[in-house]
Amino acid sequence: MNSYRSLRIALLGAGSVGSQVARLLLEHADELAARVGAPLELVGIGVRDPEAQRDVDLPRELMTSDLATLVAGADIVVELLGGIEPARTLLLDAIAEGADVVTANKALIAAHGPELFDAAAIVGAQVAYEAAVGGAIPIIRPLEQSLAGDRVTRIMGIVNGTTNFILDRMHTEGSSLADALATATELGYAEADPTADIEGFDAASKATILASLAFHTAVPGELVHREGITGVTDAMVEQAERNDRVIKLVAICERMSGDAGDRVSARVHPVSLPATHPLAAVREAKNAIFVTAEAAGDLMFYGAGAGGPETASAVLGDLVSIARRHVLGGPGRAASTHADLRVAPFGDVLARHELALTVADRPGVLAAVAGVFAEQGVSVESVRQDAGETSASLVLGTHTASEARIASVLEALDAHIDVERIDSVIRLID
């Protein structure tokens, strides 16, 4: 090892992820020093309550609630607090002092990434956030570096471990959403406020980050369509099972070509996938992300999407690579947004839908339902009538079924046909 001085590491947060980062930094200190070419000295751990009992035994003398002072003397700040404030201010202060930063905070990067990157560019500091999307899965660096010379056209994947865990338990064990969420929280997968997971905010932040990186354009979070899993009922899960399908919360980011030029769309919502689809096999809190690029073709990234030790792996990867550049010298990270693609409203996005409904028990009613769809210009690919003939599922065609059209068809159905109940409308992916 060369004789470079120790690098002072300030760790903010000692929850599910932070406590594991601290443990690994302390347990593997010699190995990490050898990889970096300088010791990584953990100078303090910022928390709300320094006296609190934690899953991992951490040296009491490192714990502090004075985060501002801790950050002020650091070479590298590792932020694992979550939320926007005080994380944003602490990181901007650290950057202004010339420190590099590592964060797993997708909410912060999605909402304030450009502010942090610009501040870092001014002082030549580095901002790394591999753990912000996909937990342990390397996906930020592949998009930012490995695919920098290609043209990404589509990203589709499962990017939230908690909701995947919940949906998996609903399918395989018949668990309720609330019970499965409680287990996911115990296992350290959920956000401090799990509304972020189940209402899709966390996945939407990750979609914002992925779309911005993939399409080299600023994708404002408010233009990312977001639906969580709180609308997924036991009945919808049962219906999917009967049809050999699995409900998953997916994020889709794509480049859309049209007469008005290219636009991008980023959206998060539940879909019903055939049981044979590769994403259907993604169980527990795993994530999987498919990236399609013009020259590279299809790529798949798979692994642990949440969890303390798993996420700590990605955080330490960033820390080591930033620390190496400290030792060896080298440029900070350049901002990568330069294109100016417009974001398409979700209502313009075409999709296949499955509609499950209960109809009056009389002949011809389904043909009449299909007729209403045809009149409204929405093609019906298949109609399946269940035993008893009072419930049915219709699969609506890809190229005709935009959100706006589906809504108008449902209105027309309400007005003209004897449909007792519309049980569910769910988007399909083949």
Ligand X SMILES: NC(=O)C1=CN([C@@H]2O[C@H](COP(=O)(O)OP(=O)(O)OC[C@H]3O[C@@H](n4cnc5c(N)ncnc54)[C@H](OP(=O)(O)O)[C@@H]3O)[C@@H](O)[C@H]2O)C=CC1
* Torsion sign across C-alpha atoms 102, 104, 108, 110: positive
Pair 206, 288: CB distance under 8 Å: no
Convert residues 202-231 into a mask of x (bound to ligand LTNE7NMQ by CB under 6 A) and - (unbound): x-----------------------------
Closest residue to ligand X, judged by C-beta, is 15
Catalytic residue, candidates 106, 206, 248, 286: 206
Residue 206 annotated in active site: yes
Q: For the chain, how far is it from start to end, CA to CA, in angstroms?
A: 53
Distance CA 154, CA 165 (A): 25
* Residue closer to ligand X (CB basis): 132 or 344: 132
* Residue closer to ligand LTNE7NMQ (CB basis): 289 or 378: 289
Contact flag: residue 161 with ligand LTNE7NMQ (CB under 6 A):
yes
Rounded least distance, CB 85 to ligand LTNE7NMQ, Å: 19
Cα 51 to Cα 112, 143, 308, distances in angstroms: 32, 41, 21
Residue 17 binds which entry of ligand LTNE7NMQ, ligand X, none, with Cβ cut-offs from 5 to 8 Å by kind? Answer: ligand X
Which of 130, 144, 168, 197 touches ligand LTNE7NMQ by CB under 6 A? 197
**Sole window of 51-59, 188-196, 330-338, 386-394 interacting with ligand LTNE7NMQ (rule: CB under 6 A):** 188-196
* Residue closer to ligand X (CB basis): 39 or 113: 113
Contact flag: residue 79 with ligand LTNE7NMQ (CB under 6 A):
no
Contact flag: residue 306 with ligand LTNE7NMQ (CB under 6 A):
yes
Residue 416 binds which entry of ligand X, ligand LTNE7NMQ, none, with Cβ cut-offs from 5 to 8 Å by kind? Answer: none
Which of 79, 130, 144, 191 touches ligand LTNE7NMQ by CB under 6 A? 191
* Number of residues in contact with ligand LTNE7NMQ under rule CB under 6 A: 11
Contact flag: residue 240 with ligand LTNE7NMQ (CB under 6 A):
no
Contact flag: residue 87 with ligand LTNE7NMQ (CB under 6 A):
no
Contact flag: residue 160 with ligand LTNE7NMQ (CB under 6 A):
yes
Contact flag: residue 305 with ligand LTNE7NMQ (CB under 6 A):
yes
Closest residue to ligand LTNE7NMQ, judged by C-beta, is 162
Rounded least distance, CB 304 to ligand LTNE7NMQ, Å: 9
* Residue closer to ligand X (CB basis): 39 or 188: 188
Contact flag: residue 188 with ligand LTNE7NMQ (CB under 6 A):
no
Rounded least distance, CB 196 to ligand X, Å: 8
Residue 48 binds which entry of ligand LTNE7NMQ, ligand X, none, with Cβ cut-offs from 5 to 8 Å by kind? Answer: ligand X
Three-class SS string for the chain? CCCCCCEEEEEECCCHHHHHHHHHHHHCHHHHHHHHCCCEEEEEEECCCCCCCCCCCCCHHHEECCHHHHHHCCCEEEECCCCCCCHHHHHHHHHHCCCEEEECCHHHHHHHHHHHHHHHHHHCCCEECHHHCCCCCCCHHHHHHHCCCCCEEEEEEECCHHHHHHHHHHHHHCCCHHHHHHHHHHCCCCCCCCHHHHCCHHHHHHHHHHHHHHHCCCCCHHHCEECCCCCCCHHHHHHHHHCCEEEEEEEEEEEECCCCCCEEEEEEEEEEEECCCHHHHCCCCEEEEEEEECCCEEEEEEEECCCHHHHHHHHHHHHHHHHHHHHHCCCCCCCCCCCCCEECCHHHCECEEEEEEEECCCCCHHHHHHHHHHHCCCCEEEEEECCCCCEEEEEECCCCCEHHHHHHHHHHHHHHCCEEEEEEEEEECC
Cα 367 to Cα 27, 172, 389, 411, distances in angstroms: 68, 35, 13, 17
Residue 46 binds which entry of ligand LTNE7NMQ, ligand X, none, with Cβ cut-offs from 5 to 8 Å by kind? Answer: ligand X
Rounded least distance, CB 136 to ligand X, Å: 9
Residue 200 binds which entry of ligand LTNE7NMQ, ligand X, none, with Cβ cut-offs from 5 to 8 Å by kind? Answer: none
Active site residues: 206
Site for ligand LTNE7NMQ, rule CB under 6 A: 135, 160-162, 189-191, 197, 202, 305-306
